Amino acid sequence: MSKKPQFGLLIDYEYCTGCHTCQVACAQENNWPAGMGGIRVQEIVQALPHDKHYLTYLPFPTELCILCRPRTKKGLDPACVKHCMAGCMTFGPIDELAEKIKEKPRMVLWVPR
Amino acid sequence: MPSSETQIYKTTTWSPGPGCHGGCGVLAHVKDGKLVKIEGDPDHPMNQGRLCARALAMTQYIDHPDRLRSPMRRTGSRGEGKWEAISWEEAFDLIQEKMNKIREEYGPESMVFNVGTGRDIYAWICMLAYAYGSPNVMFGLTGQACYGPRLAAAITVQGDFAVFDAAQWFEDRYDHPGYKVPETMIIWGYNIHATCPDNLFGHWIIDLMKKGTKIICIDPRLSWFGSRAKHHLRLRPGTDSALVMGFLHVVINQGLYDDAFVKKWSNAVHLIRKDTGKLVRECDLVSDGSEKNFAAWDTRDSKPVIWDTTQVGFKDATAVDPAVSGEWEIKMANGQTVVCHTVWDAFCDRVNEYPLDKVETITGVPAKDIHDAAVMYAKSKPGAIHWGVAVDMTPALTPLVTGISALWAITGNLDVPGGNVFARFAFDVVPYALPGTKGAIRLKTEEQDKPRIGADRYMPLNKFYWRCQTDMTLDQIFTEDPYPIKGMWIQTAGIMQGLGMDPKKWRAALEKLDFIVAVDLFHTPTTQYADVVLPAGTFLEKDSFRSWWVPLQTINKVVEVEGCRPDVAINFELAKRFDPEFKFDTIQDLYDDILKPSGMTFKELQAKGWAYPPEGSSSCPYLRHEKGLLRPDKKPGFRTQTGLFELYATLREEWDLEPMPRHEEPPFTPVSRPDLAKDYPLILSTGRRSPAFFHTEHRQIPWLREIDPDPVVEIHPITAAENHISHGEWMWIENWMGRARYKAKVTPVVPEWMIMAPHGWWFPEKKAAEPDLYGMWDANINQLIPMGHQGKDGQGAPIKHSMCRIYKCEGGRS
Ligand code: SF4
Ligand code: SF4
Ligand code: SF4
């Protein structure tokens, strides 16, 4: 049985630009070879009425995300959060992030494994 | 001494490495002399701790097994992929011998120095070329169609370049007192956040959006900005100039311009003869008058007054109230009476040739959207515009760029907080000759500049772009007229795999040359054509500095990679060998000399890390034209020949080039070539940026290649279905010049009538030797884009709009 989760990642996907920084930051920090890593960035193109579309990027923490425990223990932000070019990721206790998610729409709260 | 403890060093990114135009502060973690980790520097005002994927992948880059670790001499024929390692001393001796031979037999101009995108190395390439004595520094793109043309065009009318204001001028950035967040920002043909081009940190715009900036996006593709824009104007590629005329039409006809600026700071009030359509110059009015002075109509005395360009004011007149609009009969020195009106009237007449229904027909953008976007921008105080390389990649780039410049000027957004702000080199530290500046590194004599290819044919190139004309240079390699080209130095440039259009023609040209040196970090398709390849170092292996806008900062050497040398060290050594009078003993002397205007030596600057120009200096905003901070004579005004923002470009009139904005249809569009459109019904656009790569680089870096493994072409679902192509299938893109193989990404982000194929593809994992050449002949989209269609300025070329057809790889037409 895994322990009850305490921490999570809050993503403001309105501003995620799909820069893939989080992906490479994670690989560097945690020594993942190409093909593996704690986070994957997805592209979603959604059709809207009147022949319009909306483009979203969404970083998804994988089975390999350990929420950068060695960093966060020292009080540092996870590598992905620190480097995110759009500043759209927040790490923190789930309760705090759940409060924050009320502040604006187009957010997602991930609680990795 | 390498330490077995991890040491953290601060430095600044600027190629090679992330490939970009740089400027980020980074923390390099070094252990046992090796880079073990790289992070964004949280204290650095530019990136504030952030860092892109390419910079974060430096640990895979710096120790990559494919990196060249020793100079190489070609042993087989060109393109055969056979090499032997030689020592640096042997390499330098060989280069010296061969290049001296060319200089002795044919003259220094017979050696061309080919550069690529904007890096600190550009300066050291000029240094080497000038020490050797050649004026032929060549940016290898057709029509030099990236950045420089934009710079030259903007400087022609406003004296300086201007960029959007993200408070980058100040150490306290967005908190700086007096800074304003733009209410609206127009992003014109720019996917800036992917690669930070033009020394702008792309994600500043995302910072601004979070602070409330609304976006107008001009892009045929649904980009990230397009998705989030209040208005997304999806124009047909190549019609940007018609669109800007539409914007101006709305702004002028609805009175949304700043008439105080127009009257006082632009040449709107100057007179134009209606018979010839040319400016009235002082010499027209009085026989001993200057041809560099102009005229206006003084409404107080009802007579012409002279605008004295040396005084940047009206001649012999204390209180002049010039008319902005009107028509007068004016007596010329030769006795003739000529009807004249103002520049403003002529400008409005030009703009009125573009009513919105006409602009809609040309661009494909609904008139209402153009109207609403123009009103939104014009009513935003402040509003900013930023343009990408799309504005250079069309032959008539100057009438487009001057139109966009006029738009920000007449709406009162020039050099104001949150508008378009003049960007100058920090502390006026200029390493090499660039438009509007002289630079420390320059040719010794004007005489040496004489043979510069294209300089006598194209005045904008002659005056504002001190390089040779690329398309003419390529032709001259074949024609040897007026003199032969015998050698090429290639550095920071992938002429075969990215920079060169029509790469087969470039290959034939390279084959014809006697001697080629390439400097690079990896073997590439281009290096395969060199005689000698020299291994360069990354930004972490060099001491250098950057003054490209702000701040002034040093790049600090933190590691050494055995066998490699920084570009500057390579060029410095050879510059000394070629020029017995070369005035620097050490690289440090060179840096100290260039840095003089800052009052700091290299070591002093290095100790500080970075420095921001203080307020009141010419490289710090705002409203410098009012304060007399722009011109060498310190008079208020702009650094143009009239001292004014020129709605009608006086220099261009003198050069017989179009002096005002207008639309010119590019050469290969369905409108200009309906004949070709029958066989090639789709618009081919190229150049979409990937955050994983900078141009042709990074294909061998595993973390990056994983993000973008294949050359993918974006194709609309309807177009894909019509051509029986499914998502993920390999397909050919073909036109009258050739074809390239791409993987279909079926997506509605492109319109039905266009496909987008990124450039710069080759496969480091494939065979180097021809006919493979790293798979380049398969995937190089430049095979479908011509050389030799540069615009009338010698600048700009049709790169982003060609035509093509597509078909599935197997069984399709071939
Ligand atoms: S939190 Fe750490 S482990 Fe998880 S994705 Fe981010 S960088 Fe990787
Ligand atoms: S780093 Fe941030 S902006 Fe970039 S892809 Fe990841 S979440 Fe998105
Ligand atoms: S691309 Fe942007 S984030 Fe990356 S190093 Fe260059 S300037 Fe910095």
Among residues B287, B311, B345, the one where a domain terminates is B345
Q: Which of residues 7-36 of A touch B (CB under 8 A)?
A: 14-15, 17-21, 23-25, 27-29, 33-35
Query: Which one, of B549, B599, B459, B663, lies nearest residue B200 by Cα?
Result: B549
Range of the domain at A12: 7-110
Residue B755, domain member (yes or no): yes
* Distance, C-alpha B802 to centroid of its chain: 20
Query: Which one, of B575, B494, B565, lies nearest residue B530 by Cα?
Result: B494
- The whole-angstrom separation of Cα B235 and Cα B220 is 5
Give distance in angstroms: CA of B225 to centre of ligand 2: 15
Residue A1, domain member (yes or no): no
Residue A90, domain member (yes or no): yes
Residue B572, domain member (yes or no): yes
User: Nearest Cβ partner of B222 from A23, A53, A87?
Assistant: A53
B475 and B407 within one domain: no
Residues in chain A, pLDDT under 50: 1
Angle between helices B567-578 and B88-106 in degrees, nearest 10: 50
From atom 4 of ligand 3, which residue's Cα is the shortest distance away?
A: B52
Query: Which one, of A74, A80, A75, lies nearest residue A29 by Cα?
Result: A80
Residue B203 and residue A20: Cβ atoms within 8 Å? Answer: no
Residue B548, domain member (yes or no): no
A44 φ, ψ (degrees, to nearest 5): -125, 120
pLDDT at residue B1 in the model: 62
- The whole-angstrom separation of Cα B231 and Cα B419 is 19
Mutate to test the pocket of ligand 3, among B20, B44, B698 (most ligand atoms within 8 A of CB): B20
Residue B512, domain member (yes or no): yes
Residue A46, domain member (yes or no): yes
Residue B511, domain member (yes or no): yes
User: Nearest Cβ partner of B51 from A21, A55, A57?
Assistant: A21
Query: In angstroms, what separates the C-alpha of B636 from chain A's closest C-alpha?
Result: 39
Residue B9, domain member (yes or no): no
Residue B703 and residue A53: Cβ atoms within 8 Å? Answer: no
Task: Label residue B738 left, alpha or beta by phi (over 0 means left) and psi (-120 to 50 means alpha).
Answer: left
Residue A2, domain member (yes or no): no
B119 and B215 within one domain: no
- Tell me the pLDDT tens digit for each residue of B170-194: 999 999 999 999 999 999 998 888 9
| Ligand 1 and A67: CB distance under 6 A | yes
B365 and B228 within one domain: yes
Q: Give per-residue burial for B746-757: e unless 16+ CB within 10 Å, then b.
A: bbbbbbebbbbb
Number of domains in chain B: 4
Range of the domain at B730: 674-808
From atom 7 of ligand 3, which residue's Cα is the shortest distance away?
A: B22
B803 and B679 within one domain: yes
B353 and B247 within one domain: yes
| Ligand 3 and B22: CB distance under 6 A | yes
- Tell me the pLDDT tens digit for each residue of B568-583: 999 999 999 999 999 9
Identify which ligand lies nearest to the alpha carbon of A84.
2
Long-range Cβ pairs for the range B368-372 (8 Å, 24+): B369/B231, B369/B233, B370/B233, B370/B243, B370/B246, B370/B247, B370/B250, B371/B250, B372/B231
- DSSP per residue over B93-109, as a string? HHHHHHHHHHHHHH-GG
Among residues B305, B328, B345, the one where a domain terminates is B345
Interface check A53 vs B, CB under 8 A:
yes
Residue B57 and residue A84: Cβ atoms within 8 Å? Answer: no
B253 and B117 within one domain: no
Query: In angstroms, what separates the C-alpha of A100 from chain B's closest C-alpha?
Result: 16
Q: Specify the CATH number for the domain of residue B182.
A: 3.40.228.10
| Ligand 1 and A89: CB distance under 6 A | no
B476 and B452 within one domain: yes
Q: Which of residues 64-103 of A touch B (CB under 8 A)?
A: 82-87
B535 and B472 within one domain: yes
- The whole-angstrom separation of Cα B614 and Cα B608 is 15
Residue B77, domain member (yes or no): no
Residue A45, domain member (yes or no): yes
- Chain B contact set for A19 (CB, 8 A): 52-53, 193-194, 203, 691
Helices (H), B271-385: 282-285, 343-351, 356-363, 367-379
Give distance in angstroms: CA of B13 to centre of ligand 3: 7
- Show the beta-strand stretches assigned E in B382-529: 383-387, 420-422, 487-491, 515-520
Give the angle subtended at the CA of B100 by the CAs of B98 and B106, to the nearest 5°. 100
pLDDT at residue B812 in the model: 44
Residue A96, domain member (yes or no): yes
pLDDT at residue B481 in the model: 97
Give the angle subtended at the CA of B523 by the CAs of B51 and B781, to the nearest 5°. 75
pLDDT at residue A2 in the model: 62
Residue that the structure tokens 């593709």 belong to: B221
Residue B665, domain member (yes or no): no
Residues in chain B, pLDDT under 70: 1, 811-814
Q: Compute how many other C-beta atoms are within 10 angstroms of the C-beta atom of residue A74.
A: 8
Among residues B550, B583, B616, the one where a domain terminates is B583
Query: Which one, of B518, B526, B535, lies nearest residue B68 by Cα?
Result: B535
- Chain A contact set for B227 (CB, 8 A): 53-56
CA-based diameter of chain B, in Å? Answer: 88
B383 φ, ψ (degrees, to nearest 5): -130, 150
ipTM of the complex: 0.98
B355 and B233 within one domain: yes
Interface check B227 vs A, CB under 8 A:
yes
User: Nearest Cβ partner of B193 from A17, A29, A47?
Assistant: A17
Per DSSP, what are the bridge partners of residue B27? B10, B39
- Chain B contact set for A29 (CB, 8 A): 37
- The whole-angstrom separation of Cα B251 and Cα B262 is 13
- Show the beta-strand stretches assigned E in B379-441: 383-387, 420-422
pLDDT at residue B763 in the model: 98
Q: Specify the CATH number for the domain of residue A91.
A: 3.30.70.20
- The whole-angstrom separation of Cα B722 and Cα B745 is 15
Query: In angstroms, what separates the C-alpha of A81 from chain B's closest C-alpha?
Result: 9
Per-chain mean pLDDT for chain B: 96
Residue A85 and residue B228: Cβ atoms within 8 Å? Answer: no
C-beta separation of B390 from B240 below 8 A:
yes
Give distance in angstroms: CA of A30 to centre of ligand 1: 8
- Tell me the pLDDT tens digit for each residue of B316-356: 877 899 999 999 999 999 999 999 999 999 999 999 999 99
Number of domains in chain A: 1
pLDDT at residue B433 in the model: 80
Residue A85 and residue B57: Cβ atoms within 8 Å? Answer: no
Tell me which H or E stretch contains A60. strand A52-61
B435 and B407 within one domain: no
